[in-house]
Structures are given as structure tokens and as C-alpha cells.
Structure 1
């Protein structure tokens, strides 16, 4: 007589539920491992959430390709300085003061067009006249500055009363230590420059500089603000004199 094995229906149901429970644990483990991998790789927040949702749908880990966020340099501005803010010049400490914002030297550069760079007023301030085609190609320095520094420079140059911020074309000369893949010696780029809004009628006829130096052979040493007589001068908000440089 053949042996007959009888398995109760209740036992078969228990085996089924045990299998379903084990499968759910396995999928949960996969999702947790995937989430941990994403966080370890620096993908968090909404990006990690999307990957996790995909893993929950498919039950397996997936590699998600995300767009690289713009670098901080993309949120900054390029400014060309030609006067007292250059290295080794009287106001250079202002552009390196972190309280005013962030500034990074990118390169030395020369304007593509000629401009008159003259030294004027009793304080021997260098002024760039917005008269393209006159004077010389002006040598200076190209900086990358953040929004805070740009606002400080706008205030320092007393925009729009004394100076205006316009765009100038530059030829890159020598690169600094800061890496900018868009720049290389000899190529042409654009930057903001501060030029005078108004000037005296005789200023265009003054001797024009190619590269400003307060201690140059011209003998017109720059006068710092704290050494000036502001008795008859207009004032910046807060009491500082209005002559820009």
C-alpha cells in the first residue's frame, strides 16, 4: 500500500506567508543599502529620494546621474582694476579684506582698446576716462569677486556719481595661481571696469599712463583718504569722502 502524505492547508498557508515576509526583508535591505551608498557618495536630499523611489519600484539598486551644481565661480563677477587697488598699490588691502567680500586674482591683463588713464586732482587719483581709442592700452589685474565685494567696490567707487561700471575687453597676459579653465595667456575675455562718469575738460589732455604706479616717475604720489582734507568735499554715507579711486 502506497504511503499517502497529507499536508494540512493551514501549514501551506504558513509557508507562503513566511516566504513573502522573507522576500520583503530582502527588498528592504536592498533599499537601505542603496540609500546608504547614495549618502556615502554625497547624494542626499531630493536626489537620494528619487533614487530610493526608483529602487522601491524595481526592487534593485540603480545608479542615478545627476547634474553637477554650478561652482561658486559661476556665481562671481570679474572685475578689472588698473589703479590704487592693484597689488603693491595704496588701496590693495581693501580688495584683500575678507570683511569687504571675497576677491581672487585671476591674471594680469591689458585692455584691447586704448583708454586715457590719467592722474588728476590734488589727491593724485588715477582715473580711467571712457574714451576708447585715446591714450594707451591699459595694464591692470583681473579679479574674480563675489557679490559682497562687488557691492563694496560700487560703494567705494561712488557709483553712479563719480564712477560707472562698464564692460571692457581684455587680453590675458599672465595667469595667477587661481585656476580658471576659461582663461589662457593671449586669449580675449570681458570684465567690469570702473571708469569716470564725469571729468574736467582738460583731463583728456593730461599725460596718459599704460601701467599705474603711485611711486612712478611722474612724482604724483597717491594721497590716501585718511590724509586728505575733506572740509569742502562731498561725503559718502557714514561721513567718508566722495573722491573715488
Structure 2
């Protein structure tokens, strides 16, 4: 969701973005967040966890997908919260393939994960933010393809393949559609 900066009337509206995958610190695409932070287009706000349980799975090339199927997963998803400028948001939207049908940016409710052992349920104020969910055109099929088994936090498993190292003969959306239509035993992911 958007929040108004009140320090100066000239500051633009910023959006709170929940990062649960490769944009997190220490992961493959965090270089974009570092660039946005250095240009004052993003601010790291801390570790957060979803209020509801969601499925989090890896698709083709080890790409993480948060599925907009609240209550279907068994985990409150851990990630990071950033305050992002409109210019920064446009760059993240581009990376996430919003116009290509890879992800959808939708609301999500979060709690700080700074409690004892990161227990989000020990109290605290609910934060309204936005997250990049797998596009609805394949989310349910992705959940079925993964055997309705997800995880609570994306960790580097060695499966993630950077964009420049992926096959060029198909688009990522085509790869995703092939992945969800294949049987689990016919794929290594």
C-alpha cells in the first residue's frame, strides 16, 4: 500500500514492498535494491512476516513464487520490507515482469519479525504493504504442480538460474506454463 512522506510536501508517495525472494539481502537480484537504496528510491525497513499463511514455492529455474492462495500454505512467509519511490517501483515492476504476466503486485498484511525467534505472532502492529504474487493465470496450477507443498522462507538452494543463463528459445512465461503442465517426476525442480 502507499504511504505519504510527511517530512516535505515535495516528496512523492512511496509504496511499501514485501520482498520474499531474490530481491532480499544476499540474493541474486538484491543488486537492484542496493541501486535503489543508493539513489534514495528505496529504504530497508526490516524483517517482516506475513499475517496469513501462504504457499511459497520455486518454479522453473528456481524462481520463487508467492501464491495468492491465503490459508492454503502452512507458513507465514518471512521476508523484508522496503519503502519504495514511484521510480523505484517502476524498476521493480519491470524486473518482476508485471506487464508480461509473470507476477502481480497485490496487497499483503505483515507483522514485524523482530520478536523472540522472529515470532510474528507475539504482538505488534499490522502493516499494509504490497507483494509480487505469481500471476493468477498459473498460480493454482503451480500449487498443484508442487504437490501443495511450500516453504516459509526462500533460501538460496543453488537452483536459481540468473536470467542471462536461462535458455533463450522460450520466454519465461512459456517456461512457466511448460513447468506447471509437466509432471513432478519429469522435472528437476
Match status 1:146 vs 2:85: yes
Task: Tell me the residue number matched to 2:43.
Answer: 104
| 1:127 and 2:65 correspond | yes
**Matches of residues 196-207 of structure 1 in structure 2 within 5 Å?**
196-197=134-135, 198-199=137-138, 202-205=141-144, 206=146, 207=149
CA offsets 1:79-104 (integer angstroms, 9 cap, x no match): 00100110111111111114887211
Matched ranges for 1:15-54 at <5 A: none
Q: 2:103–2:134: 8 Å Cα contact kept in structure 1?
A: yes
2:22 corresponds in structure 1 to 84
Alpha-carbon RMSD across the aligned residues, in angstroms, is 2.9
Q: Is the 8 A contact 2:68 2:139 kept in 1?
A: no
Q: Match for residue 157 of structure 1?
A: 96
Q: TM-score, normalised by structure 1?
A: 0.57
**Higher RCO (C-alpha under 8 Å, 6+ residues apart):** 2
Distance 1:71 1:80, change over 3 A: farther
Alignment of 1:173-188 (within 5 A): 173-174=113-114, 186-188=124-126
Which has a greater percent of strand? 2
Q: Could you tell me which of 207, 210, 214 is aligned with 2:152?
A: 210
CA distance in structure 2 between the partners assigned to 1:71 and 1:242 by the alignment: 43
Distance in 1 between residues matched to 2:7 and 2:131, nearest whole Å: 31
TM-score, normalised via structure 2 length: 0.73
Rg larger in structure: 1
- Unaligned stretches of 5+ in structure 1? 1-66, 176-184, 236-240
Report the CA distance between 1:242 and its aligned residue. 9.2
Question: What are structure 2's unaligned runs of at least 5 residues?
Answer: 1-5, 116-122, 177-189
